Structure 1
Amino acid sequence: MVRDRSVTSFSNSTLAGRADDVETLNRLARAARWGHSGSAVVTGPTGIGKSALLSAFLGGGACRHATVLHGRCEEGVSGDPLSGVRRLLGPIVQDVPPEGGALLALTPGALAGEPPHALAVQRAFHGLYRLVANELNRRPLVLALDDVHHCDELSLRWLDFLLRRSDGLPLLIVLTQQAEATALARGAPAHRALADLTAGRRTTMLRLRPLAETDVAEVVRQYLPAPAAPAFVTRAWAVTGGNPRLLGRLLRALRAEGAGSGVGGADRIAETGGRVLAGWARELLDRRPRWVGEVARAVAVLGERDTDHLGPLAAVPADVVEDALTVLREAGLLTSGGRHLADGAVRAAVLAPLDGQALSRLRTRAALLLSDAGRPAEEVADHLLPLPSISEPWMPGVLLEAAVRAEARGAPETAARYLYRLLEVDPDSVEVRVRLAGALVETDPSEAVGLLRGALTPGVDIRTRARIAAQFGMTCLAAREGSAALGILEGVLDTLDAELGSDPLPADRELRTLVESVLMIVGSHGRSTIAAMSKRAAAMTVPEGDTPAQCQKLAAMAVLTALDGQDPKPAVKYALRAARSPQLPLKSWSLINSAFVLDLADRTEDAGAVLDRLLCHGRENSAVSTYALALSIRALHLHGRGALPDALADARTAVQICGAERWGEMVVLPRLALAGVLVDRGEAAHAEELLTGTTPVWRDHFVWTYHRYLLVQGRTRHALGDAEGALALFRECGRSLEEAGVRHAAYLPWWAEAACVLAELGRAEEAQEPAAHGTRLARRWGTPRVLGLAALARGVATPGEKGVELLGEAVRELSASPARIAHARAELVLGQALLAAGDLRAAREHLRAAADLAQRCGALALNQNARGALLAAGGRMRKMTSSPLGLLTGMERKVAALAAGGAKNRSIAQSLYITVRTVETHLTSVYRKLDISDRAQLAVVLRSPGVRAERVPREASPRRGQR
């Protein structure tokens, strides 16, 4: 009986993306009709759609005029000779006479024996060939055998026998084979027979590929009625790897759960897909030999590294491991790179047959194998972490070594995981507590404080206790609990002095210096302790800075010396020495304190270099809180220099970092830095919103954050129009700083802000008090920045020409400082004063300079104010160009042109009818705006392409002999 060519209907979704493959088979069928016999082997992993493709081909038009015989090899019958041929040719054998050799050959048991007798096999092969040849004489024949990986050897040998004798006959043989079965059957007789069959030149190998994402979209449309969201299709494709059967299972499961194909359904794919994958993995492994499962479990525990490790762990030979990996990879259970199981759910499903004890034994064996092979300690320790107990004597040593290596490569959170397991083994270990606290200081300082407090037991020797106390002090500072460390640090210092004597060994001196430096750092942060710490620092011997502890002490002394507000030279010298030694191990607070002092002293280039080193240190060591702190400090530094765009970027990054950490709410400085920048950017409302919720509950403890909060909040209130509220905040800042003993002109110059606000309110006489206070402090410190701010404060507090003169002094001083925004502000205030005095021409020059400077700095609010005042003075802004000269005032352009031409200051003064002092002021401003330092650089800038030199009026050209 000939098989009906109308095949049972099948799902079109299974054939998505298979049009080219079907056409390949159709082409072979058409060629066979004209006597070009051949064969095709369709291969691919389980579920890829081999049988569906075969059914589509057999039911298509290419087979319409052929006899189609279709059979399937069943699992477990490969030992029954010619069982595959029996299933294939059964329909036509029914019409054969009983005495025919073909019928005898297809009788079960006819070829009994191991192996069957060669003569019987030969008679059977020839009888079957005559049977098929008779059919071929009537019409073309298509023989299709499914799942030939289960087929017996003789059936495959006969198909090869038939194909070799079919030249000129209309015959096509189509076989389907599971790709992973190749590894399972390697070396078996049937496998060799199939290899001989497919080795012929007339065999086409057709390997089915996974569905593309566009094909998956087509399948989704057939399963789920609503239009599919792109995210749904992408995730479904990623989870299933484009396997049609697995995709069908996933979509049916989603449909059963009521999930649609929109974004909501896409969110369900991960969970549902995990369950589907797990079931798929169990089903596939249940049908495979036991050794495949053993290798899969070894991969689940160890990862696919190499057969040297997987083989011993799975207790199978190396060549078997390779076969098993091929099976797992072809079945889609390994990732595309082939190194790990495809999904966590698959891993769980692979390990599910093992109970807790068996799984622990497997993991212990894996760790021991890796340890004996000399693999890195972290790799071994990762297999110890899931164990219920660290029971073997060798395990703690591995965990400790892994923690040390993780710390060295800048992975504190990884180190903490190892150390927590060690702490379970020995809860009283001082070494483990101290190491764990060091790993947690950047991520969980409060937890680290508790660990160190528990390590500071009376039984610990004084040297160990001193090292722990120093770490405890710095950790308390990070946890905002600095006051808790002061008593312990002072007690340790007293004990060290008593036990070490007057002439300690160098290592002991370094230890004492370390504890002393930490005491100074912690004490300098407290409002109630900074004054006493300053006195203590003044009585100390200044270290050389040859060791890390000495550098840390030098930097702390630099801060306390600077805050005395006298000559900055000693503090600068200490700061530079503390930060100068690149070969020494970096200490964060050595760099933080050094940068702070250098910034106060207007040594901005040095301060910037130190901060860059600090940021590099934080990045390389994954010190998250240190990195965020360094970004905040650099934002303040850049703000002070007038580089608002860069300051804004640093501050925003610091705020984002803190927002992602659980300790982020405790860190205020990033928000203060960002709010300060936003005020100058004209975004005071945003700054106010940022400051809301940062109520300074720490006001009784921390000098640095509380007072900066008051100043930034005051500037914000002023920008929002609340002058009285701003004034109250500035005065509170000054009162609290005085109470804490911090009297420095450059650090948070509240007095300048207060004087300007009072002058705006028309209370110039009242402004004289903060102006006088700031002037006294500024003259002691003596840098151009503070002298300029003092002159500005006195200028706004002084009416008439004297006030204008003081404001001119402020402009001159600030133009020589790195404080570009303060300089622009002074230009604005001077321009407004000149405008009020009726000197419109001079007012316009300074207002235009203020607007130019503010625009260059990115100080949008100041720029807007200056432009408004300039318009009121009857002026207009020059069109901004790419030329550096666009930043210069008219007089500055004339002075710059003459100076670049070689004229001396006195000649320039005589030519332009101004004083030599005014020429010097203009040149200083020119150098600052153009970021140069001398006349030679000025000439280069003015000769640059696109720069048009200022034409000096004829009447102002230098006289002969005065060049």
Structure 2
Amino acid sequence: MAGSGGPLSRSGLRGREAELEELQTLITSVARTGSGGLALIQGEPGIGKTTLLAEAVSRARAAGFSVGLGKADELHHIVPLSSLATSLLQGDPPLLSGDTFGDLARHHDQRIWLVERLAEAIEARAGSTPVLICLDDVQWADALSRFALQQLPTRLRTSPVLWILTGRREPSGPAEEVLAAATGSLPTITVPLGPLSGAAIGQLADDTLGTAVDAWVRDLLDGAGGNPFLAVEMLAGLRTVDTSTEVMPARLVVGVRGRLKSLRPDTLRFLQMGAVLGRRFGFDDAAALCDRPAAALIPALEEAVRAGLLDDDGEQLVFRHDLLRQAVYADIPPSARKALHREAAHRLVAAGRPPADAVPHLLRGSLPGDEEAVTLLRRAADDVLPVTPGLAADLITRALDLAPGPGPLRFSVGEQAILTLTRAGRNREALSAGDRLLADRPPLEVFGRLQAALGGTLWTMDLTEELRRRTEAALGVGGATPEVRARLAALRALALSRGRDLTAAREAGEGALRDATAAGDREAHVLALSGLGEIALNAGENALALARFAALSAIDSVFLPEEIVAHLHLDDFGSAERLLPRAAEKAGTTRQAMLLWAQGQHDLGLGRLDDADAGFATMERLENEVGIPVQQVNGRVIRSRTALLRGDREAAREHLAAAREGLAVRPNPGNTAAVRFLEAVHAEAEGDTGLAVDRIRQVQREGSFMRWRLLRDWVDSAVRMSLRDGNRELAEDLAAQAEAHAERNPSVPTATGVAAQARGLVRNDPALLEHSVELLSASPRPLARAAAYADLGRVFLAAGRKDRAVAALAHARGAFAEAGAHAAAAHQQRALEGAGSGGRRAAGAARPVQGWGSLTASEEKVARLIAEGHTNRSAADALVVSPHTVNTHLTSVFRKLSISSRVQLANLVRSLPVH
């Protein structure tokens, strides 16, 4: 049989014509439309995923794409962003320079910040050429790369960026997670690769051995099961055999294991050590595991390369296919594998390699009681905690499993495990781990430390009464160090901040702050200031709350959002505006969402309803991304009320439903009161004042502190509901509440103005309502002023003072309309028409739902900037908002305009008439 020895490079493409055409269609679409796309090639090992990917890359390059191609590795997945780095740093030219990537990687503790900067860099490249980013074997991607891959395709959907991933079929695996995150936002396809047909395998044989392939060879290839890689390995073996006679190949060495058995023992041993180290490994590392000088193993390396088992890229050795590595690895007895992994970890550490290189081996080979393994796992968990807390939790949990029985090391690891699991949002695991450690009867000093560590867990779980009970018990038994006692005291004050006796809570907080200062413990200091800030807010003492949060942010800038919100409670929007850019520069992983909460409160206060709604929507998305849903219920409550002001009843009901769902997950008093108040607003909108008043009573029963937290700006609405239901007693109580709040904040125009408004409503007193309007003229909150003018207009109208009524109602209508509260503006318009003086109608009351006219003012600004060529970042800088908020606006713009790319947006804007 003539063996032409033709190239095998196309072997994986035989029988893949349909799949290749599907990829070609997507490549063409991305280049033509200027919008993004994503393809996932799936199949078993050796089925041809990498070969198909290579052909897609070749075609994309021919179509003018700038390409980044990388590969994830099974044993090298601990280093954050290492997998995606292989895609971004390879290419001609690379998508990112090494310097740029290094600068970004230094900020990897800010996960959301990092993804946004990566998006900006890729977006900039896509502005001049379409971009293809490929990652082979995505199932082994590191946690941060997986996180980025779940965000970036959607973030870059309006730019010509195509993503092609390959992976094994794993339900709910990394590949499916990435695909699910992108589905619905950009074109996505899944390209499943099954076994090749018999005809395709025959063509593959023809490619390799020539066209006169004997029948027995074709029969032999049936054993490959349609797997092209296995078939190629069989054929490669046949090319070295004399096939002039039709001897059945029972004696013939075929397949991967057959090829391995033909190697010299030294070479096989060398390959086995390499297989333990991973698909890519260092020659010196493998030689060290063989316990041989590197020079003595050069013949083994040469034989492995000649046999087509290894490639040498000049820096590392690489198994030509992972099936080859797996075949070598599978032939090592399981007990020997564990021992070799332990040895590999020890040698890597001894050679000065970072813990991340040794950890994969520790996870496979460590035994209980291995203190060196415990130490390395703890170090690795600390390293990755800021950016991949879930991975850190897995590592520290493994370290806790390995730590020897009750003793100092186990308790120390346990404390770290509690903190790490809580940071990862795995609170029940943290509480369970802590209680198991406490059941071991640790020394009193350790008992206090463990209870202090569990304090954050209990607070996050809203178990404030349990937090109070545990901290008091730990303080009562004594034995804790001054630092731990200060933390326990601060945690107790934090728990008391949710109780009814705020005087006792304040005394506890001030005592905790003194203890923290005396002990010099930073963590206790932060906890004490946090508790005192919460207590001041709950007592309605806004100036004191600001002082506490300003002191807190001076210690740690990640608390700047709390300081910003405290300024807003004092109507100090100028200071808030100065702090927002500073906070944006310093916000960390879990604080980006909190910063958006502060920005949303700022925009809401200034009557920028569009920006506020986009900010709260973005906040919820970011909280979902990091798995820390802190303000989602409150955000939905505000968005629902805003939707009612704008006249979007359907959106308002959707937000109410989402708020109720969030309340079911986090049924704390604050969330409960917020949702009950929202239900009151909806009941009033539907004409059920009885239900509305019932819900207001429930808010009042949630605790006095909720009166300050929830009703400080909305008490006028609650008073009006009560009066419409004829419940004067409740209205009086609410007005007194507003007056008490004003007494606590006499220099805050909104507080004093709303108090006068509430009392004026109860008394139906035009003079008091006029006074409220005068007080609120100094307030920066246009919606509060508009509501006071509307109340004044109605009272004047009822008193027959038509001219004064019309002036007040017209003022309210204009303020509501300017803020985008079109339903509220329309209500004032109807009141004016009822008074016989309709005047001009409020602009924008009947906005369409599709087309350019459906865009809000903020969306139109974003659309025009993007059409001019701005990136999200530069548009955000121009509008003084977050790039995340620009992305939210842009998503809405593309949906309303039924377009999918920036190119289409630019063309549409150019076609608009010039005004």
- The TM-score with structure 2 as length reference comes to 0.58
Q: Distance in 2 between matches of 1:756 and 1:816?
A: 23
Q: What's the offset of the Cα at 1:874?
A: 1.9
Q: Is the 2:832–2:839 contact (alpha carbons within 8 Å) kept by the matching residues of 1?
A: yes
Q: Distance in 1 between matches of 2:436 and 2:752?
A: 51
Going from structure 1 to structure 2, the CA distance change for 1:678 and 1:532 (only over 3 Å counts) comes to farther
SS in 2 for 1:374: coil
How many residues get paired? Answer: 630
Give the structure 2 partner of residue 307 of structure 1.
283
Verify: 1:216 aligned to 2:17, yes or no: yes
Q: What's the offset of the Cα at 1:400?
A: 2.5
- Per-residue Cα deviation, 1:427-467 (whole angstroms, up to 9, x for no partner): 53111111111111032011111222333468544444333
- Aligned pairs (5 A) from 1:52-451: 72=2, 146-147=4-5, 176=6, 216-217=17-18, 238-241=49-52, 268-269=192-193, 276=227, 279=230, 283=234, 285=256, 286-287=258-259, 290=263, 291=267, 295=271, 298=274, 301-313=277-289, 348-387=326-365, 389=367, 394-407=372-385, 409-426=386-403, 428=406, 429-442=410-423, 443-451=425-433
Q: Distance in 2 between matches of 1:425 and 1:647?
A: 49
Instruction: Report the structure number with the largest CA radius of gyration.
Output: 1
Give the structure 2 partner of residue 553 of structure 1.
528
Q: Distance in 2 between matches of 1:659 and 1:821?
A: 30
Going from structure 1 to structure 2, the CA distance change for 1:235 and 1:434 (only over 3 Å counts) comes to closer
Q: What's the offset of the Cα at 1:635?
A: 4.2
Q: What's the offset of the Cα at 1:268?
A: 4.2
SS in 1 for 2:280: coil
Q: What's the offset of the Cα at 1:301?
A: 3.5
- Per-residue Cα deviation, 1:281-331 (whole angstroms, up to 9, x for no partner): 864644476348954872574342543334545777675687578679x88
Verify: 1:825 aligned to 2:779, yes or no: no
Q: What's the offset of the Cα at 1:517?
A: 1.4
Identify which of 834, 838, 851 aligns with 1:874.
Answer: 838
Give the structure 1 partner of residue 588 of structure 2.
619
Q: What's the offset of the Cα at 1:424?
A: 1.8
Verify: 1:704 aligned to 2:680, yes or no: no
Identify which of 486, 490, 497 aligns with 1:517.
Answer: 490
Give the structure 2 partner of residue 453 of structure 1.
435
Q: Is the 1:278–1:346 contact (alpha carbons within 8 Å) kept by the matching residues of 2?
A: no
Verify: 1:791 aligned to 2:756, yes or no: yes
Q: What's the offset of the Cα at 1:349?
A: 4.4
Give the structure 1 partner of residue 95 of structure 2.
none
Q: Which amino acid aligns with 2:761?
A: V
- Per-residue Cα deviation, 1:790-827 (whole angstroms, up to 9, x for no partner): 2222333344xx42x33333333333224332223223
Q: Which amino acid aligns with 1:754?
A: A
Identify which of 468, 479, 483 aligns with 2:465.
Answer: 483
Give the structure 1 partner of residue 771 of structure 2.
809
Q: Distance in 2 between matches of 1:603 and 1:570?
A: 14
Q: Distance in 2 between matches of 1:464 and 1:610?
A: 40
- Aligned pairs (5 A) from 1:12-27: none
Give the structure 1 partner of residue 133 of structure 2.
none
Verify: 1:645 aligned to 2:618, yes or no: no
Going from structure 1 to structure 2, the CA distance change for 1:879 and 1:632 (only over 3 Å counts) comes to closer
Q: Is the 1:543–1:554 contact (alpha carbons within 8 Å) kept by the matching residues of 2?
A: no
Q: Is the 2:683–2:691 contact (alpha carbons within 8 Å) kept by the matching residues of 1?
A: yes
Q: Distance in 1 between matches of 2:722 and 2:503?
A: 30
Going from structure 1 to structure 2, the CA distance change for 1:358 and 1:720 (only over 3 Å counts) comes to farther
- Aligned pairs (5 A) from 1:499-514: 509-514=482-487
Going from structure 1 to structure 2, the CA distance change for 1:606 and 1:357 (only over 3 Å counts) comes to farther
Q: Which amino acid aligns with 2:17?
A: V
Going from structure 1 to structure 2, the CA distance change for 1:551 and 1:398 (only over 3 Å counts) comes to closer
SS in 1 for 2:394: helix
Q: Is the 2:663–2:672 contact (alpha carbons within 8 Å) kept by the matching residues of 1?
A: no
- Per-residue Cα deviation, 1:464-500 (whole angstroms, up to 9, x for no partner): 433332221221111232222212212333445xx68
Verify: 1:578 aligned to 2:520, yes or no: no
Q: Which amino acid aligns with 1:490?
A: E
Q: Is the 1:396–1:422 contact (alpha carbons within 8 Å) kept by the matching residues of 2?
A: yes
Unmatched segments (≥5 aa) in structure 1: 1-70, 74-145, 148-175, 180-207, 222-229, 245-262, 501-507, 881-886, 888-929, 932-963
Q: What's the offset of the Cα at 1:579?
A: 2.4
Q: Distance in 1 between matches of 2:645 and 2:354?
A: 52
- Per-residue Cα deviation, 1:46-65 (whole angstroms, up to 9, x for no partner): xxxxxxxxxxxxxxxxxxxx
Bigger Cα displacement from structure 2, 270-279 vs 417-426: 270-279
Give the structure 1 partner of residue 569 of structure 2.
600
Going from structure 1 to structure 2, the CA distance change for 1:296 and 1:460 (only over 3 Å counts) comes to closer
Q: Distance in 1 between matches of 2:285 and 2:366?
A: 23
C-alpha RMSD over aligned residues: 4.9
Q: What's the offset of the Cα at 1:747?
A: 4.9
Give the structure 2 partner of residue 157 of structure 1.
none
Q: Distance in 1 between matches of 2:401 and 2:551?
A: 44
Q: Which amino acid aligns with 1:579?
A: S
SS in 1 for 2:702: helix
Unmatched segments (≥5 aa) in structure 2: 23-36, 56-186, 197-223, 237-255, 845-856, 858-878, 881-915
Q: Which amino acid aligns with 1:727?
A: V
Q: Is the 2:817–2:842 contact (alpha carbons within 8 Å) kept by the matching residues of 1?
A: no
Give the structure 2 partner of residue 471 of structure 1.
453
Q: Is the 1:531–1:742 contact (alpha carbons within 8 Å) kept by the matching residues of 2?
A: no
- Per-residue Cα deviation, 1:888-908 (whole angstroms, up to 9, x for no partner): xxxxxxxxxxxxxxxxxxxxx
Q: Is the 2:670–2:706 contact (alpha carbons within 8 Å) kept by the matching residues of 1?
A: no
Q: Which amino acid aligns with 2:274?
A: A
Bigger Cα displacement from structure 2, 354-363 vs 754-763: 754-763
Identify which of 685, 696, 712 aligns with 2:653.
Answer: 685
Q: Is the 2:418–2:431 contact (alpha carbons within 8 Å) kept by the matching residues of 1?
A: yes
Q: Distance in 2 between matches of 1:231 and 1:608?
A: 39
- Per-residue Cα deviation, 1:892-941 (whole angstroms, up to 9, x for no partner): xxxxxxxxxxxxxxxxxxxxxxxxxxxxxxxxxxxxxx99xxxxxxxxxx
SS in 2 for 1:386: helix
Q: Distance in 2 between matches of 1:528 and 1:345?
A: 65
Going from structure 1 to structure 2, the CA distance change for 1:518 and 1:430 (only over 3 Å counts) comes to same
- Aligned pairs (5 A) from 1:857-936: 857-869=819-831, 873-877=837-841
Going from structure 1 to structure 2, the CA distance change for 1:325 and 1:216 (only over 3 Å counts) comes to farther
Going from structure 1 to structure 2, the CA distance change for 1:412 and 1:638 (only over 3 Å counts) comes to same
Q: Which amino acid aligns with 1:550?
A: H
Higher relative contact order (CA 8 A, sep 6+): 2
Q: What's the offset of the Cα at 1:729?
A: 0.9
- Per-residue Cα deviation, 1:344-383 (whole angstroms, up to 9, x for no partner): 7665445333331233244334323322221111221122
